[in-house]
Amino acid sequence: MAKTTKPTPTVDEPRPRIHINLAISEEDVIAYDQAGVELIFDKKGFRRLSRDTVEALGHENKKAYFKTLEVMKDEEAARRPAPRPKVLDPLGGHEELLLNARITDKEWAKRYHLCWKYCSQADSLKQFGYATVSAKDDPVECHAKTAGDTFQVRDPRGREDLDIILMKLPMHIYLQHQTAVSQTSQDRVKGYTDKFSGDVEEASKGRLKGVIEQGEPEKVQLAKGDLTPA
């Protein structure tokens, strides 16, 4: 009986590879793909392909391209600076936060004015009549309630010097302060106006004096009967 020989398994030759980067044109990318070359897309000098070029690639090379593209997008996103958080001015109107700091007692609202201040200023402001709003005792509702007895907002960038706290000021002191600020502004404007008027008046007097001084010889000559001005 003749011996049968088992067929020797064929070993596929390794598929040729080429690294694709900015030095390779899109036309060459398509040519390599059609020639059966395995495309390795380098992250350094990554060649972004047009939609038409990507559609022309074979399945394996197209999958390799999108895999590298996703890695590149993730790395670019990691290097991209984080969007700057919205930081409200603690000493200004703080409209967005004040809308969320709601007084639930109308009579209490007549007696106190709410305002946001830097936490670092809270102690020094107490000598001017300010006090921290109590989350337990004051009829105030606020989204920024902390674990303690106060309402605070932490700076989103982690800067403790920009942390703010909700404070109250007796309404009569607040109104006095507003009146004083208004008067100061009016006095400042009046001061600028008076100074401007004074400067204009001095300049006018100076010009008038010069005209009079220059005109006096004429008047003297004419008074003497000389019809020709000097």
Sketch the domain layout of the chain as residue ranges: 17-72, 95-171
The confidence score (pLDDT) of residue 226 equals 42
Percent of the chain with pLDDT over 70: 65
Evaluate if residue 116 carries a pLDDT over 90.
Answer: no
Evaluate if residue 45 carries a pLDDT over 70.
Answer: yes
9 by Cβ neighbours in 10 Å (0-12 / 13-18 / 19+) ranks as: exposed
**Could you tell me the pLDDT band of residue 188, with boundaries at 50, 70 and 90?**
low
Q: Length of the chain, please?
A: 230
The pLDDT mean for the chain works out to: 75
Lowest mean pLDDT segment, chosen from 10-19, 80-89, 172-181:
80-89
Q: Kindly give the residue spans of alpha helices, DSSP state H, lying in the chain.
A: 26-34, 51-56, 59-79, 95-98, 106-111, 122-125, 171-223
The confidence score (pLDDT) of residue 185 equals 62
Q: Which residues contact 145 (CB under 8 A, 6 or more apart)?
A: 135, 151
The confidence score (pLDDT) of residue 149 equals 85
Q: Which residues contact 28 (CB under 8 A, 6 or more apart)?
A: none
The confidence score (pLDDT) of residue 144 equals 72
